[in-house]
Amino acid sequence: MLLHAAWAELGCSTGRTVGDALDWTGNDFTRNELRERGFTLDVGGRSVPGVLWTPETPTPGRPLLLLAHGGTHDKHADYIQMIARNVVRKHGGCAVAIDGPGHGDRLANRPESPEEARRAFEAAWTDPGTTDTIVADWRATLDAALAETAAGPVGLFGFSMGTMVGAPVCAAEPRVRAAVLGLMGFWGPNSRRLRDDAGKIDLDQLRFYLQWDDEVVPRERGLALFEAFGTKRKQLRAHPGAHAAVPVGEMRQIADFLVAALEKSAPG
């Protein structure tokens, strides 16, 4: 489930606390009109670690993107930060990311090798309740982020494990109106849940990415997932290459696509 990226630049957040929902960690900085702020959020007794990015002075009603990272990565992955940076700086929107199951600050000890990271991934997904738990974490994060930012329409991005997480979130959460998913199919530890949820996903727009020579997720499994999505306005974008070889140009367009889709579907 590795999704390597070559980009690195950091993002943002706002300043007030809404009730006690977001517990700011003090990891707060601003760069070029973009703020990043780390937080934890209590969800059913779980401490959910995350990052919120906003303009220095957020404009109410602008889009909010939920950014779900891939397996063996975390909320600070380069491509997550790139998408956050683009939605804030180019579009005046906001973005939020949380660590996935068995990743990032959810672990007492960070993996020291790719093998350890893969073992942590596998261990996290052995529990049949993992999908329900991460969906609950994301919905609570969305509540808190909307309250904090006064943002408007909501989109979601998630590749690889980000689709394992993001597709069930889209099925459960009607506030998510557009998504970019991919590098996943009816394969892996929650494939049955993906089968159950795919037809329930009815977004205004959905873009799905597939790597034609993917060595991790079989091509036909990815195509089957795309076919099963209930969304009528969906598009498939496929490129030659391995699992992690999504073209940089495509990654740079993700925030643009989501913002355009959300603005087109917004009332008024």
Domain of 108, CATH number, reads 3.40.50.1820
- The answer to whether position 17 is within a domain reads no
Percent of the chain with pLDDT over 90: 76
Provide the domain limits for residue 63. 22-265
pLDDT score for 267? 67
Helix (H) or strand (E) holding 8: none
Could you give the angle at the alpha carbon of 66 between the alpha carbons of 102 and 103, nearest 5°? 10
Q: What is the pLDDT of residue 240?
A: 97
Q: Does residue 9 sit within a domain?
A: no
Closest CA to 87 of 173, 27, 155: 155
Query: What SS3 state is found at 167?
Result: helix
Cβ-based neighbour number of residue 57 at 10 Å: 9
Q: Which of 13 and 65 is assigned the larger pLDDT?
A: 65
Residues in contact with 149: Cβ distance below 8 Å, sequence separation at least 6, in sequence order: 14, 52, 54, 58, 60, 64, 94
What is the per-residue pLDDT for 120? 87
Residue 19's pLDDT is: 37
pLDDT at 20 over 60: no
pLDDT tens per residue, range 74-99: 999 999 999 999 999 999 999 999 99
Contact residues for 112 (Cβ-Cβ < 8 A; gap 6+): none
Q: How confident is the model at residue 26 (pLDDT cuts 50, 70, 90)?
A: confident
Domain assignment of residue 221, yes or no:
yes
Residue 189: inside a domain, yes or no?
Answer: yes
What's the angle, vertex CA 65, arms to CA 60 and CA 67, rounded to 5? Answer: 150
CA dist 31 and 48 (Å) reads: 25
Stated pTM of the model: 0.90
CA dihedral 117, 122, 127, 131 (to 10 degrees): 80
11: confidence class by pLDDT, cuts 50, 70, 90: very low
Query: Which residues does 178 contact at the CB level (< 8 Å), separation at least 6?
Result: 153, 155, 156, 203, 204, 205, 206, 257, 258, 261, 262, 265
Position 141 in a domain: yes
Number of folded domains in the chain?
1
Question: φ, ψ for residue 39 (rounded to 5)?
Answer: -150, 165
Tokens representing 98 are: 């949380």
With beta carbons less than 8 A apart as the criterion, state whether 138 and 66 touch. Answer: yes
Task: Could you list the beta-strand ranges (E) of 112-165.
Answer: 154-159
Mean pLDDT of the chain: 90
Element (H, E) at 109: none
Sign for the pseudo-dihedral over CA of 11, 17, 22, 23: positive
Residue 1 lies in a domain: no
DSSP string, 26-58: EEEEEETTEEEEEEEEEETTEEEEEEEEEESSP
Are residues 235 and 208 in contact, defined by beta-carbon separation less than 8 angstroms? Answer: yes
pLDDT interval class at 213 (50, 70, 90): very high
Residue 83 lies in a domain: yes
**Position 203 in a domain:** yes
Residue 6: band (very low, low, confident or very high) from pLDDT cuts 50, 70, 90: very low
Q: What is the pLDDT of residues 219-263, one digit of tens each?
A: 999 999 999 999 999 999 999 999 999 999 999 999 999 999 999
